Amino acid sequence: MHVLKELLGRLHPLIVHLPIGFIIIGLILQVYDRKLKEHNKVISLIYLWAGYFAILACITGYLQYLGEGYSFDSVKLHLWSGIVTALFCFLMWAKLKDALKTTLISKTPLVVLSMLFFALISFTGHQGGNITHGEDYLVEPLPNSIKSALGYEVFEEKEIVLTDENWETAVLYTDVVQPILNNHCVSCHNPKKAKGELLLNTKEGILKSGENAPVIMANHPDKSDLFTRMELPKEDDKHMPPDGKTQPSKEAIKLIGVWIENGLSFDQTIGELGLEKSLFQSFFPKTTKTDYPGTAITAAVQDSIKKVKNIGLHLDPISESTNYLKVSALNFPGFTDTNFQTLKSIAPQIAILDLGGTQVTDAIIKDLATLPNLTILKIDNTDITGEHIDLLKSLEHLRSINLSNTNFKKENLDKLKGFTSLESVYLFNPSLEKTGTELLNEGRTIIEYGNYNLPPLKTDSIIY
Amino acid sequence: MKNNIEKLIAEKLKREIETQTRRHFIKQCATGMGGIALGSIFMGCDPLTPSKTNSNLHTGFTERDLNPLATLSPPFAPRAKNVIYLHMAGAPSQLEMFDYKPELAKLNNQECPQSLLEGKKFAFIRGTPKLLGPQATFKQEGESGNWVSDNLPHFKKVVDEVAFLKAVHTDQFNHGPAQLFMHTGSPRLGRPSIGSWVTYGLGSENQNLPGFVVLTSGGKAPSAGKSVWGSGFLPSVYQGVQCRSKGDPVLYIEDPDGISRDLKKNTIKAINEINKKEYSKYADPEILARINQYEMAYRMQIAVPEVMNINNEPDYIKEMYGVEPGKESFANNCLLARKLVEDGVRFVQLFDWGWDAHGTDASTAVDLGLKNKCREIDRPMSALLLDLKQRGLLEDTLVVWGGEFGRTPMQENREGKTMGFKGRDHHGDAFTMWMAGGGIKKGASHGQTDAIGFSGVDGRVSVHDVHATILHLLGFDHEQFTFDFQGRPFRLTDVEGEVIHEILA
């Protein structure tokens, strides 16, 4: 019997669409029939059946409410408006059959009732949708500004911020575990939805567990559903969060396990618990350097890309997650200053440019200065003397210039002063007669002269 | 006239039918239906998902079909674009090079405690072996203060460039399987090597050179054979191309007598036309690999001898590396590795044989032969790092150094007998590797072994972790980088591996 109840409950989303369809077709027919009123018989029959199915929908809906752990608060509007809709079906049936002789309803014009009916079915349907898909389902695709203007709460993801300084004093639950649960579990396990009657937004909720109690057992992650079900493969039916929802990282899941294993502490700090730093490494701010500016950019036009490729240059986006390009003349040693023309159409997208080993001269520097997002420049193994190299100062992202094996002149070294973000300059060139590295621009820039050697040692010739 | 054309058409039809013999037909009846069902499971003939390549509508070929080495962007921003992997085949002794164990010196010649031996398998050690103290003197070097032994005097100068992994472990204790594991992620045959994965995932920029080049030195090829640079289930165009530093860099690269280059060019063109037709019929990626290899071989005839010629390098560079032109040496290979990377070769794999210091004779004694091996690599690998650095190549080139496993803190007692020379047995529980270059934290040292260097006690990392880290630096998530084969996606790291963040810059 229990199984049957549950099954019928699950049929609710299917059955509700019958009365909805019937009512809509009835209303449409009413519009067509508004002058002649010769189809009242058919329309009333439609409403009668809409009523029967609406009752069935109410019953299955109630069973679903019982079976799937919704709180009464979250379903009550839908429940009552559903019942009213069902009753209204019979009312419309009676009205069209002229069965109501002298009541208030019989005096109300049909068109008013029909409009009311339409409003009612829309409202009920919308309420139902809110329950299954979430109240913000329709609003979600809207931009945040419109959302907040409409008075909707924007889902707040809690960021986990650990640093080299504060990680030991951070409270394991408040600063790490709670944000993980908040970001990945609470959207279903909150007082409104309470899937599986489980609330994960508070300490009390976690300890109380839901219908499959207990979800958590101190010191035993392997016996805690909260942890084991997150660990299951995503394809598994029991995996949480369900496939399709954003998944916590494996480091986050591991930490949930560590938290349980260490006795479910709600107030101890990471340091007090004596946990290893490596467990939290993935939550430290990422210092990953990328070889392109931080601001996003639109993709280069396909035609321009084709043109650049056609002259023999190599070109690829730096990664699949950016539109910034890496352009290389590796297969085009004949590249000259005039070939730069072709690059103009993709100028904003170029972040890495490798013109090493080509025919370019000092004249190209002023062209290079027009590439606003240039981050890494390689003009090694060319005839560049560095005469106009100071023109590149205007490039605020330029981080590295490779000038090794060029004709770079000693007197142009001063022109490397005053660069703002330049980190490295490669100037390996025996004729400069300099060795090792030198700092420039208050230590921001490392000049690498190279010219290294490994002087012979006595041990070089000892053979054992 | 008309009759002739009809005859020709009939002839053509007949030829086509001839390719379908009765046997073919019967065979296909048996396998045809199953084949249809299996087609969706075995996706070997679909090397890349179409979304990743630009389909050429006129020919039906994608860019990657016609040139399997066409470059692809990695999924994430990369820190390195090339890799030089220095493999010391035979397994170098970490205890005479990087892992300083003063305690072990004190315990020299004492019997190894039984607790360490229980449940362990060794290749040659039997019974109760004696501990063998470090056969080298160590000092802390550079600003990082990392330990380096006197066996590597030149390397001390570049120690601040590298990040050590002191507690790498493997589950294999024989050379062949351990080398396979180290390079393909599995101790059994059939998986693609790291270089194959990388060239498959990224392609290669230089059109005239292979994307994955292998150079060997030390007189012998690695024990696991050429499978350590094989392409496994990936299309064979991604396998490593072995070049020789002595004689012709690639065998049969010269034109045969009496054959001009033009004739050869036309021949290859004709062969490839036929092969393209074959491909449009059978869609077998191996045909594409063959087309590409013909073209590559033709272009390589000019490009390879040029890049493989170290004589044109200035003398001071040759001296820094200590090259011996005309010979097969690790020094030559190191210089070649730099030249290849400079020319855009994606993955350069160096194998140096002769590190199997068992102590069976003087050449394999840790206090004799091993010192010679150390001397042979010390100058070249230090020079390689310095040379890459001064040319700005170390910014985006990852250099990896290691063996297939480490060596025991115990002296080997082959057959349970005391041996005349000091040697160490194979040991997978803890050994040292280092990485340098693109995205690596300079001067870092991760992991620690116990007092005698038997096992890792902190920061243990597995071979899979090393692979995950290499792929991470190249811009891949090792868990997402897969190839469908035999009905399931395969990864280099199988179902394991975690990126070693501690050594990342």
Identify all chain A residues contacting B390, using CB atoms and an 8 Å cutoff.
Answer: 404, 426, 428, 448-452
Task: Assign B178 to helix, strand or coil.
Answer: helix
Mean pLDDT of B156-172: 95
Interface size between A and B, measured as CB pairs under 8 A: 110
CA nearest neighbour of B222 among B327, B88, B372 = B88
A15 and A82 part of one domain: yes
More confident of the two residues A71 and A412: A412
For residue B44, name the pLDDT band (cuts at 50, 70, 90): very low
Strand-pairing partners, residue B397, are B82
Mean pLDDT of A158-184: 85
- The whole-angstrom separation of Cα A91 and Cα A199 is 42
Asked whether residue A95 falls in the same domain as residue A214, the answer is no
Q: Which CATH architecture has domain B83-249+308-503?
A: 3-Layer(aba) Sandwich (3.40)
Q: Which residue of B has its CA nearest to A279?
A: B501
Task: Find the mean pLDDT for residues B77-82.
Answer: 94
Regarding whether A317 and A429 lie in a shared domain, the answer is yes
Domain locations in chain B?
2-40, 83-249+308-503, 252-300
A257 and A345 together in one domain: no
Measured in angstroms, the CA of A380 and the nearest CA of chain B are apart by 8
Return the pLDDT at B45.
47
The pLDDT, as a whole number, for residue A326 is 95
Does A150 have pLDDT greater than 60? yes
Please state, in angstroms and rounded to a whole number, the distance separating the CA atoms of residues B288 and B297.
14
Residue A199: inside a domain, yes or no? Answer: yes
Report yes or no: B154 and A459 within 8 Å, Cβ to Cβ.
Answer: no
Average pLDDT, rounded, for chain B = 88
Which pLDDT band holds residue B49 (cuts at 50, 70, 90)? Answer: very low
Q: What is the DSSP letter of B55?
A: B
Residue B255 has pLDDT above 80, yes or no: no
Q: Which of A216, A249, A283 is the last residue of a domain?
A: A283
Predicted complex ipTM: 0.83
Q: How would residue A36 be classed by pLDDT, with cut points 50, 70 and 90?
A: confident
Gap between the Cα atoms of A449 and B280, Å rounded: 54
Give the pLDDT of residue A165: 81
Structural domain includes residue A162: no
Range scoring the smallest mean pLDDT among A288-302, B382-396, B418-432, B454-468: A288-302
Query: Within a domain: residue A463?
Result: no
Cβ contacts (< 8 Å) between A253 and chain B: which residues? none
- pLDDT category at A20 given cuts 50, 70, 90 is very high
Residues A14 and A144 in one domain: yes
Beta strand segments in A285-337, E? 314-317, 325-328
Q: Please check whether residues A356 and A426 belong to one and the same domain.
A: yes
DSSP secondary structure of A237-294: TT-SSPBTBPPPPHHHHHHHHHHHHTT--SS-BHHHHT--GGGGGGGSPP----SS-S
Integer angstrom CA distances of residue B283 from B20, B279, B484: 17, 5, 17
Q: Contact, B133 vs B156, CB < 8 A?
A: no
Our CA-based measurement puts residue B61 at a distance from the nearest CA of chain A, in whole angstroms, of 17
Q: Do B208 and A331 touch (CB under 8 A)?
A: yes
pLDDT at B151 over 80: yes
Which range has the worst mean pLDDT, A34-48, A129-143, A313-327, B383-397?
A129-143
Taking CB atoms and an 8 Å limit, are B386 and A281 in contact across chains?
no
- Say whether B73 and A331 touch across the interface (CB within 8 A): no
pTM assigned to the model: 0.73
What is the distance in angstroms between the Cα of A223 and the nearest Cα belonging to chain B?
Answer: 24
More confident: B227 or A139: B227
Separation of alpha carbons B119 and B344, rounded Å:
47
The better pLDDT of the pair B252, B368 is held by: B368
Burial (0-12, 13-18, 19+ Cβ within 10 Å), A286 = exposed
More confident residue, A342 or B28: A342
Mean pLDDT of B254-278: 87
Question: In the predicted model, what is the mean pLDDT of residues A161-170?
Answer: 83
Mean pLDDT of chain A: 87
A116 and A8 fall within a common domain: yes
Looking at chain B, which residue has its C-alpha nearest residue A326? B73
Q: Give a yes or no: residue A346 inside a domain.
A: yes
pLDDT at res. B170: 95
Tell me what the mean pLDDT of segment A351-371 comes to.
94
Confidence of residue A189 (pLDDT cuts 50, 70, 90): confident
Distance from CA of B330 to the nearest CA of A (A): 15
Query: Is A128 inside a domain boundary?
Result: yes
Measure the CA–CA gap between A418 and B308, rounded to whole angstroms: 41
A331 and B72: CB-CB below 8 Å? no
Report percent pLDDT > 90 for chain A.
Answer: 44
pLDDT of A365 higher than 90: yes
Using alpha carbons only, what angle is made at residue A25 by residues A20 and A31, rounded to the nearest 5 degrees? 130
Is a pLDDT exceeding 60 seen at residue B52? no
What average pLDDT does the segment B175-194 reach? 95
Q: Which residues of A touch B371 (CB under 8 A)?
A: 464
User: Which residue among A80, A114, A148 closes a domain?
Assistant: A148
Tokens of B460: 């243990």
Mean pLDDT across A369-385? 94
User: Do A443 and A358 sit in the same domain of this protein?
Assistant: yes
- Name the helix (H) or strand (E) containing B373: helix B369-390
- What is the Cα–Cα distance from A241 to A245, expressed in whole angstroms? 6
Q: Picking from A82-96, A238-252, B163-177, B220-234, which range would have the lowest pLDDT averaged per residue?
A: A238-252
What is the pLDDT at residue B349?
96
Q: Is B344 on the interface with A (CB under 8 A)?
A: yes
Q: How far is CA A125 from the centre of its chain?
A: 30
Please say whether the beta carbons of B64 and B238 come within 8 A.
no
* CA distance linking residue A324 with residue A376, whole number of Å: 12
Per the structure, the complete domain to which residue A375 belongs is given by 302-450
CB spacing of A289 vs B505 below 8 angstroms: yes
* Alpha-carbon gap, residue A188 to A191, rounded angstroms: 9
pLDDT given at position B452:
93
Same domain, A414 and A348: yes
B53 pLDDT higher than 50: no
Residue with token string 């692979």: B467
* Percent of chain B surpassing pLDDT 90: 61
Q: Which of B153, B205, B505 sits opposite A328 (nearest CB)?
A: B205
Would you call B442 an interface residue with chain A, using a CB distance cutoff of 8 Å? no
Whole-number pLDDT of residue B6: 82
A22 has pLDDT over 90: yes
Q: Do A278 and B502 touch (CB under 8 A)?
A: yes
pLDDT one-digit tens code per residue, A387-431: 999 999 999 999 999 999 999 999 999 999 989 899 999 999 888
Structurally, how many domains does chain A consist of?
3
Of the partner residues A278, A319, A459, the one whose CB lies closest to the CB of residue B76:
A319
Domain boundary among A221, A256, A283: A283
Q: Tell me if A293 is assigned to some domain.
A: no
Closest CA to B409 of B386, B390, B428, B425: B425
Query: pLDDT confidence of B23, banded at 50, 70, 90?
Result: confident
Looking at residue B32, what is its pLDDT? 59
Query: What pLDDT digit, counting tens, does each position of A261-312 carry?
Result: 988 888 888 888 888 887 887 788 766 677 899 888 999 999 999 999 999 9
